[in-house]
Chains A and B, each alone.
Chain A
Amino acid sequence: MSDDIRTLTAELAADPRSLVFLELGEALRQAGRLEPAAKVVVQGLTRYPDLPEGHDLYARILADQGDLEGAFDEWDMTLRLDSTHPGAHKGLGFLFFKADDLHSALRHLETAATHRPDDKQLAGVIARVRARLQEAQAVDTAAPVDPLVITPASSVVSFPASESKAESASPESVGEPAPNPLEDDGLLLVDAAGLRLLGAMKGAGGSETADRVAAELAGVSKEAGRAVRLLQLGEWQSLALEASGAHFFLVPPTPETMLLAIRDPAVPMARVALGAARALEAARRWLERGS
Chain B
Amino acid sequence: MSNHQKALEALTAIHGVRGAMIATGDDGIVVAEAVMEDVDGGALAALASSLSHRLEAAAAAAGGGRPGFLHLQATAGALLVCPAGPGLLLVVIAERGVNVGRARLEMARVAEIIT
Contacts and interface: CB of A to CB of B under 8 A. Distances in A.
B79 interface: yes
B61 interface: yes
Given A243-B65, A243-B68, A245-B64, A237 B59 contact: no
Q: Is the interface of B mostly helix, strand, loop or mixed?
A: mixed
Contact of B99 (A80, A223, A246): A80
Q: Give the contact-size bracket for chain B.
A: 35 or more
A246 B47 contact: no
Contact of A80 (B43, B44, B62, B101): B101
A209 interface: yes
B63 A157 contact: yes
B54 A220 contact: yes
A144 to B, nearest CB: 32
Interface string B38-72: 11100110011011001101110111111111111
B14 to A, nearest CB: 10
B59 to A, nearest CB: 5
Interface in A201-249: 201, 203-204, 209, 212-213, 215-217, 219-220, 223-224, 226-228, 230-246, 248
Q: Is the interface of A mostly helix, strand, loop or mixed?
A: mixed
Contact of B79 (A203, A204, A227): A227
A233 B78 contact: yes
11 contacts: A80-B98, A203-B63, A220-B58, A227-B47, A230-B43, A231-B77, A231-B79, A234-B74, A241-B64, A241-B71, A246-B59
